[in-house]
Amino acid sequence: MDSEGRSQRHYQVCLIGSGGVGTIASVVLAKSGRAHLTCVLRSKYSYVSQHGWDVDSVDHGKLSGWKPHRIVRSAADAATDENGDQVTYDYVVVCTKQLPNLNPVVGMIAPVMTPGRTTVVMIQNGMGIEEEIIKAWPGNVVMSSVSHIGSSIQEPNMVVQVGKDVSKMGPHLHTGVDDSTSIEKAREFVDMYLSGGASVCEMVEDIQVARWEKLLWNGTFNTVCALMRMDVGELQRSKGRESMLVPMMWEIWNISKAAGHPMPESIVQWMAYRLPDDCDYRPSMLLDLENGRPMELEVILGNALKKAQELGVNTPHMTTVHKLLKLEEWRCQERRSL
Amino acid sequence: MDSEGRSQRHYQVCLIGSGGVGTIASVVLAKSGRAHLTCVLRSKYSYVSQHGWDVDSVDHGKLSGWKPHRIVRSAADAATDENGDQVTYDYVVVCTKQLPNLNPVVGMIAPVMTPGRTTVVMIQNGMGIEEEIIKAWPGNVVMSSVSHIGSSIQEPNMVVQVGKDVSKMGPHLHTGVDDSTSIEKAREFVDMYLSGGASVCEMVEDIQVARWEKLLWNGTFNTVCALMRMDVGELQRSKGRESMLVPMMWEIWNISKAAGHPMPESIVQWMAYRLPDDCDYRPSMLLDLENGRPMELEVILGNALKKAQELGVNTPHMTTVHKLLKLEEWRCQERRSL
């Protein structure tokens, strides 16, 4: 029992995807002392299973050769334990890039899902990403974390976290599960995450609002910086903030309102003007483009635009930027296939 | 008298701007035998006044060291003849790039304009470019040539014309001049131009329709190829033609219709699908961007968008592409000012 009288339950947790976000999440979950943590690493399996991670973190300090309880090469390997017995996971935490066309989450997590039991935690970008999961496991709790963290991997096994791990978490309520159950499972995960030393982890009632808020950034700075090959400061100094980003933010604001998840009006001004004009930050989609990697275009703009069309919201800037980034995507694919 | 009984009048002609288009126009006018041709060359004055042009042309064959009657360094120098006497020009032919913010045509041609006398011939891209001229010289005839020609300069003095000189010409009728006078002056210029051996030079009643037709190309392929750094074939293979260009063409089609200069509907399909998917043509605006030169953005998209706004025509794709190219323009200016 903890000081508030809650039982300190332990959970079987499987975490998939160890980029900057996922690796710090795995440190948090392991530090909580409440999770038996199995991490699925793909490209980094060989190196990290041998050497562990070297972590340099604003939240957790320096760790050398750090490992979770178990490291496996695939979700299929995570499905059974070292003795070959089936593992029933309480939580599957998905921290991969959201690429529904290349690597859909449903197929990725299927081996570690127990219907009616496993809660899916999506620490991922994008809109509407929970829908496929709920469709595939209609009796399972699905929750999201909308995370703001500055963290990245330096090859081969260094995790550098410069920005604090601040997140909002909450369940996606759906008809297949009692709301009280969804809320309870989400609350337990938040408690575990907080006790692992995350900077801020807030449980919110309407996680969709948090997703739309994050889209104000991801759908605007992230996409237009990528398209224009500009860093944040360049885009601001070019007046692209006024001509493009703010109009796009209002388009997003209008969709979220029409979808029943209104944001405060003041958030547009805040989101547009919070960074200085000499900020040389290069958002993730720009880095993806520059490195010929797939972008999270569909979950960031595509799904929001589907919602806009459904609801009859006018989105001229977003629509055009989405179409232009599809051309970039085509070019990346062409180059990869050479 | 020629075979049709018209007098073979001779004209004082001043031609400004000797890029690929202007140099071939000067060859045509000189060959007509009806023009005393003064060419204003700026960057190329020293070399060409000494060595002339070397021309390799599908219309005119090979010419070596070719020169017009007179080459001068500025419009001010063109204003007086070799004896210092004022020249009264019948035609001023403007073949420069259209950069209203950097190099407005009114200031450029003022020294060679005689009010009430000189006809201005604009062999230039863009919409609404005649308006400033008419405002400055309300008693003068203003006409346009909408030219399709494949011609370029190779340093220092080689003109290579690979595509035939096909143009439509016609007057911009306005209240300061009798329509019959405008039509007569335009007709005389077309006659002179045809007798100089241009492939096709058609006199049209509504030159605005020809300008809108050309904008179907310049406002779409030219702008999106530049923005995406793609050649024509890449843009087509990426499906950008279907997602971006055809919708933009219909936006242009709608503006032209609202402006009272309707184009046939079939022209959109023709313009969008006339080139093969392996076409590696790099339109002028893309070349300008790649070489850090100013683009003709305002006369191509800016003026059309002003017209659209005036007339209440919806232009989501054009508006966004224009805004994004303004960011490119900002970046070019930044780099030039370094």
How many A/B residue pairs have CB atoms within 8 Å? 70
Return residues 284-313 of B near A (CB < 8 Å): none
pLDDT at residue number A6 = 52
C-alpha distances in Å from residue B314, one per residue of A314, B215, B299, B304, B317: 12, 17, 19, 12, 9
Question: Is the confidence at residue B2, as pLDDT, over 60?
Answer: no
The string of DSSP letters for A296-327 reads: -HIIIIIHHHHHHHHHT---HHHHHHHHHHHH
Query: Which CATH architecture group holds A209-336?
Result: Orthogonal Bundle (1.10)
Measure in Å the smallest separation between the Cα of B330 and chain A Cα atoms: 6
Q: Which fold has domain B210-336?
A: N-(1-d-carboxylethyl)-l-norvaline Dehydrogenase; domain 2 (1.10.1040)
A327 touches chain B (CB under 8 A): yes
**Chain B residues inside the 8 Å CB shell of A320:** 244, 316-317, 320-321
**Chain B residues inside the 8 Å CB shell of A319:** 316
Could you tell me which CATH class the domain A11-205 is placed in? Answer: alpha beta
B49 touches chain A (CB under 8 A): no
The token pair that represents B332 in the structure block = 């070019």
Rg (alpha carbons) of chain B, rounded to whole number? 20
**Chain A residues inside the 8 Å CB shell of B230:** 327, 331
B333 touches chain A (CB under 8 A): no
Which of B98, B165, B163 has its CA nearest to residue B125?
A: B98
- Which chain B residue lies closest to A322 (C-alpha atoms)? B243
Mean pLDDT (chain A) is 95
B331 touches chain A (CB under 8 A): yes
The token pair that represents A228 in the structure block = 């224009």
Q: What DSSP state is assigned to residue A243?
A: I
Which of A317, A304, A318 has its CA nearest to residue A256?
A: A304
- Spatial CB neighbours of A315, under 8 Å, sequence gap ≥ 6: A251, A254, A255, A305, A308
Residue A317 near residue B320, CB atoms below 8 Å: yes
Question: Is the confidence at residue A1, as pLDDT, over 50?
Answer: no
Question: Is the confidence at residue A3, as pLDDT, over 70?
Answer: no
pLDDT at residue number A5 = 47
Question: Is the confidence at residue B1, as pLDDT, over 80?
Answer: no
Say how many CA atoms lie within 13 Å of A268 toward its Cβ: 18
Question: Is the confidence at residue B43, as pLDDT, over 70?
Answer: yes
Report the distance separating Cα B229 and Cα B209, nearest Å: 29
Residue with tokens 């010289």: B137
Measure in Å the smallest separation between the Cα of B31 and chain A Cα atoms: 47
pLDDT at residue number B336 = 86
By Cβ distance, the residue of A228, A320, A327 closest to B316 is A320
By Cβ distance, the residue of A234, A235, A326 closest to B243 is A326
Report the distance separating Cα B301 and Cα B126, nearest Å: 8
Report the distance separating Cα B44 and Cα A53, nearest Å: 63
Contact A330 B228 (CB under 8 A): no
Residue A174 near residue A237, CB atoms below 8 Å: no
Contact A328 B244 (CB under 8 A): no
Report the distance separating Cα A111 and Cα A16, nearest Å: 12
| Amino acid sitting at position A147 | S
Measure in Å the smallest separation between the Cα of A263 and chain B Cα atoms: 25
Q: Let me know if the fold of B11-205 is the same as that of B210-336.
A: no
pLDDT at residue number B287 = 93
Measure in Å the smallest separation between the Cα of A223 and chain B Cα atoms: 12
* B231-240 per-position pLDDT tens digit: 999 999 999 9
**Chain B residues inside the 8 Å CB shell of A327:** 228, 230, 235, 238-240, 243-244
**B133 phi, psi to nearest 5 deg:** -65, -45
* A178-217 per-position pLDDT tens digit: 999 999 999 999 999 999 998 899 999 899 999 999 999 9
C-alpha distances in Å from residue B118, one per residue of B27, B133, B170: 21, 12, 16
* A56-84 per-position pLDDT tens digit: 999 999 999 999 999 999 999 999 999 99
Residue B239 near residue A330, CB atoms below 8 Å: yes
Residue B248 near residue B318, CB atoms below 8 Å: yes
Q: What is the 3-state secondary structure (H, E, C) of chain B?
A: CCCCCCCCCCEEEEEECCCHHHHHHHHHHHHCCCEEEEEECCCCHHHHHHHCEEEEECCCEEEEEECCCEEECCHHHHCECCCCCECCCCEEEECCCCECCCECHHHHHHHHCCCCCCEEEECCCCCCCCHHHHHHCCCCCEEEEEEEEEEEEECCCEEEEEEEEEEEEEECCCCCCCHHHHHHHHHHHHHHHHHCCCCEEEECCCHHHHHHHHHHHHCCHHHHHHHHCCCHHHHHHCCHHHHHHHHHHHHHHHHHHHCCCCCCCHHHHHHHHCCCCCCCCCCHHHHHHHCCCCCCHHHHHHHHHHHHHHHCCCCHHHHHHHHHHHHHHHHHHHHHCC
| Amino acid sitting at position A46 | S
**Chain B residues inside the 8 Å CB shell of A321:** 320
- % residues pLDDT > 90 (chain A): 91
Q: Round to the nearest angstrom and report the end-to-end CA distance of chain A.
A: 59
| Amino acid sitting at position A332 | C
- Where in chain A does DSSP place strands (E)? 11-16, 35-40, 53-57, 61-66, 70-72, 91-94, 119-122, 142-154, 158-171, 200-203
Residue with tokens 């021309």: B55
Enumerate the domain spans of chain A: 11-205, 209-336
| Whether residue A100 has a cis bond before it, omega within 30° of 0 | no
A233 touches chain B (CB under 8 A): no
Evaluate the CA torsion angle B29, B30, B33, B37 in order and state its sign: positive
Total length of chain A: 338
* A5-39 per-position pLDDT tens digit: 455 789 999 999 988 999 999 999 999 999 999 99
Contact A230 B327 (CB under 8 A): yes
